[in-house]
Amino acid sequence: MKLVVIGLGQCGSRIADEFARLNGRARSQRGIEIITGAFAVNTDATDLSGLQTIKADYQHRVLIGGRKTGGHGVGKINELGAEIAREDADKVVDSIRTARHFYESDAFLLIAGAAGGTGSGGLPVVTQYIKDRYADKPVYNIIVLPFEHEESTEDRTVYNTATCLKSSSSVADAVILVDNQRYVRKDFSLKNNIIKINALIVEPFYNLLCAGEEKKAKHIGAKLLDAGDIIQTLVGWTVIGYGKSQLPLLRLPFERTRSFRKKSTETHKGIQVMDEAISELSLRCNPADASRALYLLSAPAREMNMDVVKELGEYLKDIAPKAIIRNGDYPRERGMLDVTVILSELSDVEKVRQYYSESATFIHEVTKKQEEVEKKLRGIDEAGKDIPSLL
Ligand SMILES: Nc1nc2c(ncn2[C@@H]2O[C@H](COP(=O)(O)OP(=O)(O)OP(=O)(O)O)[C@@H](O)[C@H]2O)c(=O)[nH]1
Ligand SMILES: [Mg+2]
């Protein structure tokens, strides 16, 4: 599957940069392309120049709102981010169209952090704009949810997140939710290593996007997972998970591949990795709420047999009984077995509901504060009503 990737704001741009790097890896390791164009859109000129892989010209690093913000961002005011994106959406679309292989793209993927200003406000606006322009291609969002410490120190964090989630989910074909806090939990040292978190966020997409683009027969599985399967799976609220296991590179001569014992070890390993993918989902949710799901098993051809694929399917069916499940197997190089899982069309996401209800009280407080200020101002005006004016 080939994507046009557009990152908005600092978070989105950095993750789009990571996708550009992923494409470099696919090209050099596998001779295939999975990204037809990677773009970064920001109101902040300095952040744009800090990227590494996205082409450094003005058509790939698109500065918006230059006049309004002087190239210094919107300081977490996502209404301003939205307004600027509305004014400059044409600039973004003009850039995308120049991508050399644009017409080979299967879908758009737009990415932003929900808690900031530029990305949070720009994401739903640009998504809507692209959907209107390219009705035949699905438009997906990755929305990155803030760290816990950001939520507790700044009310605007929750409010921005809630408005971004609500607006984006009403226009995007699917919203893939990624919770920053989950990645800290996995490895606390990551708190100070956002680059590593970004690499973990994009890793599940590598085999997922590559599988359908393979040309060599030895890398085409019994059930090829292609763009069609992914498009059929991605609907509404979505999470993604990834698990992997190293395999011994050398097989001892007495280890007979066909033996019953060997087969059951492989199945066991497959289940273990699937279990890891489910426990490490990009956001905590209840798999039973999923109406669609997908899994991709990548492993050396001789480690993969239909029993493993079938067992993985049964495992997923058990935890997501309502879901229509699509699957694929992807024969890859020696030494690694990995599983990517997508749970989609989730009927409930507790974390999203939480943002909505918390920000509802915030809206109430903001209007109350505003009314108090207005009342005080009226008081001053009243007190000065008999003073002559110089104007
Ligand atoms: N995973 C990840 N999260 C990030 C990254 N950069 C920022 N964030 C998160 O994204 C949110 C802030 O969004 P930013 O992208 O910095 O804000 P922005 O869209 O540039 O908006 P303004 O700076 O307000 O104009 C916070 O919750 C950060 O924790 C990143 O590179 N990776
Ligand atoms: Mg910024």
Q: What is the pLDDT of residues 324-354, one digit of tens each?
A: 999 999 998 778 899 999 999 999 999 999 9
Please tell me what DSSP assigns to residue 147: P
Ligand index nearest the alpha carbon of residue 77: 1
**Averaged confidence pLDDT in the chain:** 91
Which range (55-64, 79-88, 297-306) has the least confidence?
Answer: 297-306
pLDDT at 260 over 70: no
- Centre of ligand 1 to C-alpha 42, Å, is 11
Mean pLDDT for 235-244 is 97
Nearest CA to ligand 1 atom 31: 11
Q: Which two tokens stand for residue 268?
A: 């066991």
Please tell me the distance from the alpha carbon of residue 358 to that of residue 241, in angstroms, as a whole number: 27
Pocket test for ligand 1, best of 6, 10, 176 (most atoms within 8 A of CB): 10
End-to-end C-alpha distance for the chain, whole angstroms: 67
pLDDT at 372 over 90: no
Residue 323, pLDDT score: 97
Residue 265, pLDDT score: 72
Instruction: Check if 243 has its Cβ closer than 6 Å to any atom of ligand 1.
Output: no
Inter-residue contact 357 to 245 (CB < 8 Å): no
pLDDT at 185 over 70: no
- Centre of ligand 1 to C-alpha 130, Å, is 22
Inter-residue contact 102 to 4 (CB < 8 Å): yes
Which range (49-53, 235-239, 348-352, 368-372) has the least confidence?
Answer: 368-372
Q: What residues sit around ligand 2, an ion, with C-beta below 5 angstroms?
A: 10, 44, 73
Q: Which two tokens stand for residue 41?
A: 């859109």
Mean pLDDT for 92-108 is 91
Inter-residue contact 339 to 270 (CB < 8 Å): yes
Nearest CA to ligand 1 atom 12: 116
Q: Please count the other Cβ atoms lying within 10 Å of the Cβ belonging to residue 77.
A: 17
Instruction: For residue 20, give the H/E element and its range.
Output: helix 9-30
- Centre of ligand 1 to C-alpha 115, Å, is 7
Residue 366, pLDDT score: 67
pLDDT at 263 over 80: no
* Overall size of the chain counted in residues: 391
Residue 25, pLDDT score: 97
Mean pLDDT for 370-377 is 78
Q: In ligand 1, which atom is closest to the CA atom of 113? A: 10
Please tell me the distance from the alpha carbon of residue 131 to that of residue 332, in angstroms, as a whole number: 35
Residue 154, pLDDT score: 79
Using pLDDT thresholds of 50, 70 and 90, give the confidence band for residue 35. Answer: very high
Mean pLDDT for 354-374 is 82
Mean pLDDT for 41-49 is 95
- Centre of ligand 1 to C-alpha 113, Å, is 5
Bridge partner residues of 239 (DSSP): 343
Ligand index nearest the alpha carbon of residue 12: 1
Instruction: Check if 122 has its Cβ closer than 6 Å to any atom of ligand 1.
Output: no
Mean pLDDT for 215-239 is 94
Pocket test for ligand 1, best of 72, 74, 144, 190 (most atoms within 8 A of CB): 144
pLDDT at 299 over 70: yes
Instruction: Check if 69 has its Cβ closer than 6 Å to any atom of ligand 1.
Output: no
Instruction: For residue 4, give the H/E element and its range.
Output: strand 3-8
Q: In ligand 1, which atom is closest to the CA atom of 43? A: 25
Which range (90-99, 341-350, 357-366) has the least confidence?
Answer: 357-366
- Centre of ligand 2 to C-alpha 40, Å, is 12
Ligand index nearest the alpha carbon of residue 164: 1
Inter-residue contact 168 to 148 (CB < 8 Å): no
Residue 249, pLDDT score: 61
pLDDT at 373 over 80: no
Residue 87, pLDDT score: 95
Map residue 5 onto helix, strand or coil. strand
pLDDT at 11 over 60: yes
Map residue 139 onto helix, strand or coil. strand
pLDDT at 238 over 70: yes
- Centre of ligand 2 to C-alpha 72, Å, is 8
Q: In ligand 1, which atom is closest to the CA atom of 150? A: 27
Q: In ligand 1, which atom is closest to the CA atom of 157? A: 27
pLDDT at 187 over 90: no
Using pLDDT thresholds of 50, 70 and 90, give the confidence band for residue 73. Answer: confident
Which residue has 């918006």 as its token pair? 64
Which range (144-158, 229-243, 282-296) has the least confidence?
Answer: 144-158
Residue 190, pLDDT score: 57
